[in-house]
């Protein structure tokens, strides 16, 4: 049983957990920015007339969605050095998360653009706008609105996924729990504490998603993720 549960040890390790939490937050933030960039490029490729772009984007998205993040992470971790790219684990991790999440972000953006009623496009055409003008003035401002809640949902997934970076020895939150578990043989203290920290991040982002839905005047986000 957990009668020996030691809050004292948790407090002793609190600086380590704090550091891990901060690392998780900023590496997730960086990866999310990367994912947005990747997602926008992919979504733009998907909307091109040229077939090659569309096929390439679709193939990339399907490949990412049909394989686990952990395998993708190992692919880069063990594979990049082979290409002469020896990068710190942290950087490899951020690249993996960006490339992985980017595929999902691309789908969210695409769904957002497709959610705009045809009548909007037709109204744009009728008033003599070019393709770029229609996109910029009519479609994207509306699509942007509906993508915010699912993007925050994807951010939640990304934060949780970042735990896998502990398996390539990145000193983030989960790694801090593993250290406490292995140094002091206190897995309960280690893993329950980090679970609590992750829940903190989860409820924060979830609250933000709910708020954003309300601000944007959307229906409360349907249970996605």
Partner 1 sequence: MIWQQLQSLAGSYPLALRGLGMTVMLSAISLVLGTLLGFGLGILRTGGNRLISAVIGAWVDLIRGTPFLVQIFLIFFILPEFGIELDAFTAGIIALTNLAACFICEIVAAGIRSVPTGQVEAALASGLSRWQRMRQVVLPQAMRIVLPPLVGQYVLLIKDSSVVSAIGLTDLTRVGWLVVQRVPNGLLVFFLVGVGYFIVCYPLIMLARRLERRMGAAHGEVQL
- Report the nearest approach of partner 1 to the CB of residue 126 (Å): 26
Q: What angle do CA 152, 135, 119 make, to 5 degrees?
A: 95
Indicate which single residue of 164, 170, 176, 180 sits in contact with partner 1 (rule: CB under 8 A).
164
13, 35, 97, 161: residue in contact with partner 1 (rule CB under 8 A): 161
Q: What's 137's DSSP letter?
A: I
DSSP state of 86: -
Touching partner 1, residues 120-149 (CB under 8 A)? none
Shortest distance (Å) from residue 195 CB to partner 1: 5
List all residues 6 or more positions away from 181 whose beta carbon is below 8 Å from its beta carbon. 187, 189, 190, 191
Size of the site for partner 1 (CB under 8 A): 46
Q: Does 86 bind partner 1 (CB under 8 A)?
A: no
Q: Which two tokens stand for residue 42?
A: 């992919």
Count of H-run helices and E-run strands, the chain: 10, 0
List 41, 44, 111, 163, residue binding partner 1 (CB under 8 A): 163
Judged by CB under 8 A, the chain residues 181 through 200 that form the site for partner 1 are 181, 187-188, 191-192, 194-195, 198-199
Instruction: Give the whole-angstrom CA distance, residue 75 versus residue 63.
Output: 13
Q: What values do phi and psi take at 223, rounded to 5?
A: -55, 95
Q: Is 59 in the site for partner 1 (CB under 8 A)?
A: no
* Conformation bin of residue 217: beta by default, left when phi > 0, alpha when psi is -120 to 50: left
Rounded (to 5) percent helix, strand, coil in the chain: 80, 0, 20
| Piece in contact with partner 1 (CB under 8 A), picked from 33-41, 123-131, 135-143, 173-181 | 173-181
Nearest to partner 1 of 63, 125 (CB atom): 63
- Decide if residue 63 touches partner 1 (CB under 8 A): yes
Pick between residue 86 and residue 132 the one whose CB is nearest to partner 1.
86
Among 98, 147, 154, 174, binds partner 1 (CB under 8 A): 174
Contact 127, 61 (CB under 8 A): no
Name which position in 55, 70, 85, 123 contacts partner 1 (CB under 8 A).
70
Both tokens of 74, joined, read 């190992």
Q: Which residue has the tokens 């989960």?
A: 174
Query: What whole-number distance in Å separates Cα of residue 7 and Cα of residue 19?
Result: 18
Regarding 100 and contact with partner 1 (CB under 8 A), the answer is no
Q: Which residues bind partner 1 (CB under 8 A)?
A: 1-2, 62-63, 65-72, 74-75, 77-83, 160-164, 166-167, 174, 177-178, 181, 187-188, 191-192, 194-195, 198-199, 202-203, 206, 222-223, 225
């Amino acid at each position: 049983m957990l009668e020996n549960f030691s809050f004292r040890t948790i407090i002793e390790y609190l600086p380590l957990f704090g550091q891990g939490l901060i690392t998780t937050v900023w590496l997730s933030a960086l990866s999310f920015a990367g994912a947005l960039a990747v997602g926008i490029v992919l979504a733009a490729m998907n909307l091109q007339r040229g077939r090659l772009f569309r096929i390439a984007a679709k193939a990339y998205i399907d490949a990412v969605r049909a394989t686990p993040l952990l395998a993708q992470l190992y692919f880069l971790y063990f594979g990049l050095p082979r290409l002469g790219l020896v990068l710190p684990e942290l950087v490899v991790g951020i690249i993996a998360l960006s490339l992985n999440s980017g595929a999902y972000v691309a789908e969210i953006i695409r769904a957002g653009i497709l959610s705009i009623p045809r009548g909007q496009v037709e109204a744009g055409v009728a008033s003599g706008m070019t393709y770029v003008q229609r996109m910029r003035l009519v479609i994207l401002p509306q699509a942007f609105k509906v993508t915010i809640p699912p993007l925050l949902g994807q951010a939640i997934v990304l934060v949780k996924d970042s735990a896998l970076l502990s398996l390539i020895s990145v000193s983030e939150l989960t790694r801090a729990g593993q250290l406490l578990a292995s140094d002091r043989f206190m897995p309960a203290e280690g893993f329950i504490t980090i679970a609590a920290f992750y829940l903190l991040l989860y409820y924060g982002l979830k609250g933000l998603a709910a708020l954003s839905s309300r601000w944007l005047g959307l229906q409360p986000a349907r249970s996605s993720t």
